[in-house]
Structure 1
Amino acid sequence: MHVPDGFIDAPMSAATGVVAAAAVAVSLRGARRELDERTAPLAGLVAAFIFAVQMLNFPVAAGTSGHLLGGALAAILVGPYTGVLCVSVVLLMQGILFADGGLTALGVNITDMAIVTTVVAYVVFRGLVTVLPRGRRSVTAASFVAALLSVPAAALAFTLLYSVGGTTDVAIGKVATAMIGVHVLIGIGEAAITAATVGAVIAVRPDLVHGARGLQQQLKLRVNGELVDAPAAEPAPVAARSHRGVWIAGLVTSLVLAGFVSFYASADPDGLEKVAADKGIDRKTEEHAVADSPLADYGVKDVEDTRLSGGLAGVIGVGVTVVTGSAVFWAVRRRRSDDTSPVSTSV
C-alpha cells in the first residue's frame, strides 16, 4: 500500500507530513516507557523482520497481491509507540534506498501504514484481551483479529485522504469499495502472519511480547477441598534470561525471507496498485526521486542475475534496517535511563 509521488497533492502531503512528524515525536517519548532491557534490543529486529516480510507479496485475487503492513505485529510485540517507530523506520528505508513509496508521500505513508494500522490494531487487541480468557491462546486470537481489521482500516484512511487531496477526479465511492474489498482479503494474510509470529514468540519467550504482559493465568491449588491462588513464582532476573537466541533466530529468519524466499513472491500488483490502475488514480504518478538508486525496485544495479540481484537487495535492506532501527531504539532507551537516573548534588 505504498503511496507513490503524484497520488496526493502538495497541501495534503504537507498536512500528513506534519501529522506524521507529530506522531513520531509523541512515539519517541512513549517508547521510553515501553523499551526496557528485554525489548530495546529486539525492536530493531522487529523493524527488520517487517521489512523482510513486506517483500513477500502473496496472491489474494486474480491479478492482485498483498503484503504485510506490520503495524499490528509491531504494536503487539513491542508496544504501540515503539510499533509506530518500527514501521516508520521501514518506510523510511524503503523510500530512500529502494524507491518504494514516494518521498513527498512519506507523510501519507507513515500516517496510513504506521499510525492508522498500529492504533487501530492495538485498540482492538487491548479490547479483546480484556474480555477473552487470560492466556496465550487469547493473545494469539486477539492478534489475528486486530491485524485483520487494521488493513481495511488503512485502506479506508487512504480513501479519505484521497477524497480530500487526490490529484485525479475519480468516483470516491467506487474507490472505497474496491480498496476496502481487496484489503479485507489482504487482511486475512496479514492476520495469519501476525498471529503465527506472535504465537511463535509467545511459545518460547512470552516475557518478550508486550501485549502478553500481565495476562498469565493465576494458578490454583486445592487446599482442604477449596481452590486457592498459588503463590506467584519469582520472575527470573532479566539478565539471567538472555534474548540472544531469539535475536539471532529472528535475524536469520529475516535474512532468509528477504534473501531467498522473496524470489518466489507474487509479481502481481498489490491492492493499491491494482485499484489505482483500474480506477485511474495513477494517471498523475510521478517518477520517484531516487528511481536511479543502486537498490531501486529491490534489485542491485549492474547485477544481471535476477535471483542474485533481488536476494542481495533483500539482505542489504534487512541489514540496514536492523542497524538503523537498533540505533534509534538504543538511543531512546538510553534517554530513558538518563531521565530516570538519580541527580547527584554537591554542596
Structure 2
Amino acid sequence: MHVPDGFIDAPTSAAAGAVAAAAVAVSLRGARRELDERTAPLAGLVAAFIFAVQMLNFPVAAGTSGHLLGGALAAILVGPYTGVLCVSVVLLMQGILFADGGLTALGVNITVMGCVTTVVAYAVFRGLVKVLPRTRRSVTAASFAAAVLSVPAAALAFTLIYGIGGTTDVAIGKVATAMVGVHVLIGIGEAAITALTVGAVIAVRPDLVYGARGLQQKLKLRVNGELVDVPAAEPVPAAARSSHRTVWLAGLATSLVLAGVVSFYASASPDGLEKVAADKGIDAKVEDHAAADSPLADYGVKDVDNARLSGGLAGVIGVGVTVVAGTGIFWAVRRRRTQDASPVSTTVA
C-alpha cells in the first residue's frame, strides 16, 4: 500500500506530513516508557523483520497481491508507540533507498501504514485480551483479529485522504469499495503472518512480547500469614540475556533468509493499491520517484544482471541498514529514558 508521488496533491500531502511528524514526535516520547532492556534490542529487529516480510508479496485474487503492513505485529511485540517508530523507519528506508513509496507521500504512508494500522490494531488487541482467558493462545488469537481489522482500516484511511486531496476525479465510493474489498483479503494474510510470528516468540520468550506482559500471575509468598507479591528482580539473569541474544540472532537470520532468498519467489502481481489505482484511474497523474536512479531502486542492485542475485543482495542490504538504523534510534531513545530517570544531584552551599 505504498502511496507514490502524484496520487495526492501537495497541500494534502503536506498536511499528512504534519500529522505524521506529530505522531512520530508523540511516539518518541511514548517509546521511552516502552523501551527497556528487553524491548530496545528487539525493536530494531522488528523493523528489519517487517522490511523483509514486506518483500514477500502473496497472491490474493484476480491478479492482485498483498504484503504485510506490520503495524499490528510491531505494536503487539514492542508496544504501540515503538510500533509506530518501527514502521516509520521501514518506510523511510524504503522510500530513500529503494524508491518504494513517494518521498512527498512519505507523510501519507506513515499516517496510513504506520499510525492507523498500529493504533487500530493495538486498540482491538487490548480490548480482546481483556475479555479473553489470560492465556498465550488468547494473545495469538487477539493478534490475528487485530491484524485482520488493521488492514482495511488503513485502506479506509487512504480513501479518506484521497477524497480530500486526490489528483484524479474518481468517485470516492468506488475507491472505498475497491480498496476495502481487496484489503480485507490482504488482511487475512497479514493476520496469519502476525499470529504465527507472535505465537513463535511467545513459545520461546513470552516476556519479550509487550502485549503479553501482565498476563502471567505473580509469584506469591506467605509472610506472617498473608500472601504478598514477590518483587521482580532488577538485574537480568545471565541465562535470560543469553536466551535474548539467541532470539535476536534467530530473528535476524530469518529476516536475512526471507529478504535474500525467499523474496525471489514473491508474487509479481500488483499489490492492492496498485491494482485499484490502475483499474479506477487513480494513477493517471503518478510521478516518477525522485530516487528512481538509486543503486537499490526497485529492490535490485544496479549493474548486477542476475535477477536472483540482484534482488537477494538488495534484500540483505535493506535488512542490514534497517536493523542498524532502527537499533540506533531505539537505543538512543532508551538512553534518553535512562537519563531522564536519573536523579539530579544538587550542591548545597
Matched, 1:109 2:117: no
Structure 2: distance between partners of 1:97 and 1:219: 49
> Which runs of 4 or more aligned residues in structure 1 lie more than 3 Å from their structure 2 counterparts after TM superposition?
217-220, 228-237
Listed as ranges, the gaps of 5+ residues in structure 1 are 221-227
* Deviation of the 1:344 alpha carbon: 1.5
Structure 1: distance between partners of 2:227 and 2:174: 57
2:88 paired residue number: 88
* Deviation of the 1:134 alpha carbon: 0.4
Q: 1:267-293: per-residue Cα shift (whole Å, max 9, x none)? A: 000000000000000000000000000
* Deviation of the 1:238 alpha carbon: 2.0
Matched-pair contact (CA < 8 Å) for 1:219–1:229: no
Length-normalised TM-score, structure 1: 0.95
Structure 2: distance between partners of 1:205 and 1:159: 39
Matched-pair contact (CA < 8 Å) for 1:135–1:217: no
Aligned-partner residue type, residue 29 of structure 1: R
Matched-pair contact (CA < 8 Å) for 1:38–1:238: no
Q: 1:26-46: per-residue Cα shift (whole Å, max 9, x none)? A: 000000000001110110000
Q: 1:60-81: per-residue Cα shift (whole Å, max 9, x none)? A: 0020000000000000000000
1:304 paired residue number: 305
Length-normalised TM-score, structure 2: 0.95
Structure 2: distance between partners of 1:235 and 1:191: 35
Aligned-partner residue type, residue 346 of structure 1: T
1:64 paired residue number: 64
Which aligned pairs between 1:77-156 and structure 2 lie closer than 5 A?
A: 77-156=77-156
**Amino-acid identity (%):** 85
Change (3 A) 1:333 1:236: closer
* Deviation of the 1:171 alpha carbon: 1.3
Q: 1:118-151: per-residue Cα shift (whole Å, max 9, x none)? A: 0000000000000000010100000000000000
Which aligned pairs between 1:292-331 and structure 2 lie closer than 5 A?
A: 292-331=293-332
1:277 paired residue number: 278
Structure 1: distance between partners of 2:215 and 2:300: 43
* Deviation of the 1:236 alpha carbon: 8.6
SS at match of 1:65: strand
Matched-pair contact (CA < 8 Å) for 2:155–2:179: yes
Matched-pair contact (CA < 8 Å) for 1:218–1:229: no
Task: Let me know the Cα RMSD of the aligned residues.
Answer: 1.6
Which aligned pairs between 1:41-56 and structure 2 lie closer than 5 A?
A: 41-56=41-56
Structure 2: distance between partners of 1:270 and 1:69: 12
Structure 2: distance between partners of 1:321 and 1:233: 37
How many equivalent pairs are there? Answer: 340
2:4 paired residue number: 4
1:258 paired residue number: 259
Change (3 A) 1:212 1:229: farther
Aligned-partner residue type, residue 278 of structure 1: D
SS at match of 2:60: strand
SS at match of 1:30: helix
Structure 1: distance between partners of 2:325 and 2:218: 40
* Deviation of the 1:346 alpha carbon: 2.0
1:341 paired residue number: 342
SS at match of 2:59: strand
Q: 1:89-118: per-residue Cα shift (whole Å, max 9, x none)? A: 000000000000000000000000000000
Structure 1: distance between partners of 2:41 and 2:19: 28
* Deviation of the 1:216 alpha carbon: 1.7
Change (3 A) 1:253 1:230: farther
Which aligned pairs between 1:94-243 and structure 2 lie closer than 5 A?
A: 94-217=94-217, 237-240=235-238, 241-242=240-241, 243=244
SS at match of 1:238: coil
SS at match of 1:289: coil
Aligned-partner residue type, residue 214 of structure 2: G
1:23 paired residue number: 23
Structure 1: distance between partners of 2:193 and 2:161: 27
Aligned-partner residue type, residue 182 of structure 1: V
Change (3 A) 1:303 1:217: same
Q: 1:298-329: per-residue Cα shift (whole Å, max 9, x none)? A: 00000000000000000000000000000000
* Deviation of the 1:334 alpha carbon: 0.3
* Deviation of the 1:239 alpha carbon: 4.0
2:290 paired residue number: 289
Matched-pair contact (CA < 8 Å) for 2:218–2:229: no
Matched-pair contact (CA < 8 Å) for 1:147–1:191: yes
Matched-pair contact (CA < 8 Å) for 2:47–2:322: yes
Structure 1: distance between partners of 2:316 and 2:268: 19
Matched-pair contact (CA < 8 Å) for 1:258–1:311: yes
1:224 paired residue number: none
Aligned-partner residue type, residue 77 of structure 2: L
